[in-house]
Amino acid sequence: MQIRQKLIDTRKSKSLSRRQVAEALDITEAFYGMIERGARQPALDLAQRIARYFDSSTDELFGLAA
């Protein structure tokens, strides 16, 4: 599964909007949308914040886990 789809699926499974996630991460909704669309890659610190927010690991969320 692609990273972008994993982020979208995880967000939707928790019934969250892009805006809610972006606000919780203290980033703009537009920037979070670019991450979901695969247009931007988050820096390591942001990737870790995203994973923590979704109660996941970066490996699992970003497709690094086997």
Residue 16 lies in a domain: yes
Question: What's the token pair of residue 27?
Answer: 């980033």
Helix 44-53 and helix 18-25, axial crossing angle in degrees, nearest 10: 120
Q: Which of 45, 21, 43, 24 is nearest to 32 (CA)?
A: 21
Instruction: Render pLDDT for 33-64 as a digit per residue (tens, 0 to 9).
Output: 999 999 999 999 999 999 999 999 998 887 77
Domain total for the chain? 1
Residue 66 lies in a domain: no
Model confidence pTM above 0.95: no
In whole angstroms, give the CA distance from residue 28 to residue 13. Answer: 21
Quote the pLDDT of residue 61.
Answer: 85
Range of the domain at 39: 3-61
C-alpha distances in Å from residue 23, one per residue of 2, 13, 17, 31: 24, 18, 10, 11
**How high is the mean pLDDT of the chain?**
92
- The CATH number of the domain holding residue 37 is 1.10.260.40
